């Protein structure tokens, strides 16, 4: 199982890579499937998440120009989750649908996402478990595998 506890504090999803590299989805797919492209740090059902530092290093090694202004909204994000969960995993964990999950997330005491990417928000599973304990919610921890291994090439 991969954890992100030691990762840098900035991460990018597919949407951010499209902006950062100035390419479309098809070209991004070609680039991310190249052996030289960094492997995702983690994969959640919403998509892959890469370590920004590794993407920058790859761009420097390959001579690719980055659209650094695309990073403005992502600078200063908090630490990466130790075990990341996205909305799809939360639906399984809580055993609810999207509408009910939206209501749960709207509660003022619900944990703040540790990363907000275009693919959606990412929470730390430990924060979700702690919140569920405090609020008396039952989680279906066997319903999901929140920390998937990076995609095979």
pLDDT in tens, 74-111: 544 444 446 788 999 999 989 999 999 999 999 999 99
> What is the rounded distance in angstroms from the CA atom of residue 54 to the CA atom of residue 38?
6
Residues 67 and 105 in one domain: no
Residues 52 and 26 in one domain: yes
Mean pLDDT across the chain: 78
Domain of 124, in residue numbers? 84-135
**Pick from 49, 132, 47: nearest CA to 87:** 47
**Residue 143 pLDDT > 60:** no
The predicted model scores a pTM of 0.55
The structure tokens listed for 58 are 């790859």
Residues 112 and 93 in one domain: yes
Residues 57 and 33 in one domain: yes
The structure tokens listed for 49 are 């998440």
Residues 56 and 32 in one domain: yes
Using the structure block, give the residue that is written with the tokens 């761009």. Answer: 59
What is the tally of structural domains in the chain? 2
């Amino acid at each position: 199982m991969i954890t992100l506890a030691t990762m840098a504090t900035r991460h990018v999803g597919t949407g951010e890579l499209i902006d950062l590299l100035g390419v479309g989805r098809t070209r991004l797919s070609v680039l991310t499937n190249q052996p030289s492209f960094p492997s995702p740090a983690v994969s959640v059902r919403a998509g892959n998440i890469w370590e920004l530092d590794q993407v920058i290093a790859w761009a420097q090694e390959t001579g690719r120009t980055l659209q650094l202004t695309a990073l403005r909204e992502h600078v200063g994000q908090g630490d990466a989750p130790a075990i990341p969960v996205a909305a799809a995993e939360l639906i399984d964990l809580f055993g609810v649908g999207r509408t009910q999950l939206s209501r749960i997330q709207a509660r003022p005491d619900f944990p703040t996402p540790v990363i907000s990417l275009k693919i959606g928000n990412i929470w730390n599973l430990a924060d979700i478990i702690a919140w569920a304990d405090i609020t008396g919610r039952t989680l279906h921890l066997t319903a999901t595998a929140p920390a998937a291994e990076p995609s095979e090439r």
